[in-house]
Structure 1
């Protein structure tokens, strides 16, 4: 029975993660195309996608590299874009913190927006899940997502020039983040942080090498934390 239940929850994760292929594949195709056009060879494109496995950070770093920004700026900006992963990790620790070291290492590597959003929602809604079931669900979610990202990056790098411009692959970028961010705006603190990040980025667009994004990220986190403290005092 336990084995059947484990298989069932893994397959449920696969089913829940599968729809993200509709946006992950165009997103990765676009990265493969843009990276190749920027001068990266196939090995560099695939190394980027496999090692970083973070679309937003990859596009940000690539743009700064094209602009010949200093290496420290490229790294700092990419880290700032991916800073949310640290918050994702902290959020999942109460559910997965007792896993074995190698399991936590795999979760850390495969922790992306899609695997976090679905897994955290699942854990919140079903607190009775065992540690094994939580891990099975997490790896189920990422099963269709990660291979799709790798494969589409490869295709984009190899055959990107043959993809017609009419396909408008760049639609996947905003749709992906809207689909994941919108449901997460559940409290005033979340909304405040999102608003500050958007307004800050627009207001500071003139700063060199996209450093306005770094400033906006810090401001958004500060505002979100302060609003959360204020709400806590009121309750």
Structure 2
């Protein structure tokens, strides 16, 4: 349904983003607990979450720091995990690239998996949206998720040691990514990329500092891109003559 105002587009984004707080909350809570257990202060935990806003990269960095990995490895691993955000940015540029600079700066800061997945799907489904409506919807998708992320990061760091040890908070990470990735598995290249990444990650599990995940991600992207190129070069089947 087309939006009549930017305000209606913003609140539609808020509504669409609301279900993700069910996974963002436990995910952030788990990060706060683990970061506190690793020796970070509440201030350091909050600085980490506010500056980075990248759950997967934060967990990767935290794990590597606990393993006493070299600082360069920590930085490169975090950047590699966040390479997907560069692809998100490229995918959203046709829709948001003409926005004012200050809006694009805030959009880049708030670009997370949920805001990308919801916004890209919405923009494709409703090409009649104006640029202000697109920006409003995008910012709306971020609102509740980021509030929950910051709040639960603080709670996890502040009172994490009092939480039950058997509380299954770690379920949030796989559920969050599955809920975003599964609906996007619509083409053969997507499926090939996922399959190759899974196989390579299992074969590369022994690589130190969890770098096997980076190798698997790169292999999956290359396989998916190559499959897409191959499909584009295949000649289309000639239509059958019903009278033949």
**Cα distance in 2, alignment partners of residues 75 and 188 from structure 1:** 33
Superposition deviation, residue 190 in structure 1: 1.1
1:212 corresponds to: 212
1:169 corresponds to: 169
1:120 corresponds to: 120
2:82 corresponds to: 82
SS of the residue corresponding to residue 167 of structure 1 reads coil
2:7 corresponds to: 7
1:153 corresponds to: 153
> 1:90-130 deviations in whole A, cap 9, x for unaligned?
00000000011111111101000000000000000000100
**Cα distance in 1, alignment partners of residues 143 and 72 from structure 2:** 33
SS of the residue corresponding to residue 189 of structure 1 reads helix
Superposition deviation, residue 212 in structure 1: 1.2
Structure number, greater radius of gyration: 2
Name the one with the larger helix percent.
Answer: 1
Segment of structure 1 superposing worse, 213-222 or 110-119:
213-222
Between the two proteins, the alignment pairs up a number of residues equal to 233
Superposition deviation, residue 4 in structure 1: 6.2
Query: Which structure 2 segments of 5+ residues have no match?
Result: 237-244
**Cα distance in 2, alignment partners of residues 94 and 152 from structure 1:** 34
1:96 corresponds to: 96
1:49 corresponds to: 49
Alpha-carbon contact 1:17-1:141 (below 8 Å) kept: yes
1:69 corresponds to: 69
5 Å-filtered alignment, 1:12-27, equals 12-27=12-27
RMSD of aligned residue pairs (Cα, Å):
1.2
2:186 corresponds to: 186
**Cα distance in 1, alignment partners of residues 171 and 59 from structure 2:** 14
Q: TM-score, normalized by length of structure 1?
A: 0.96
Runs of 4 or more off by more than 2 Å in structure 1? none
Superposition deviation, residue 167 in structure 1: 2.8
1:107 corresponds to: 107
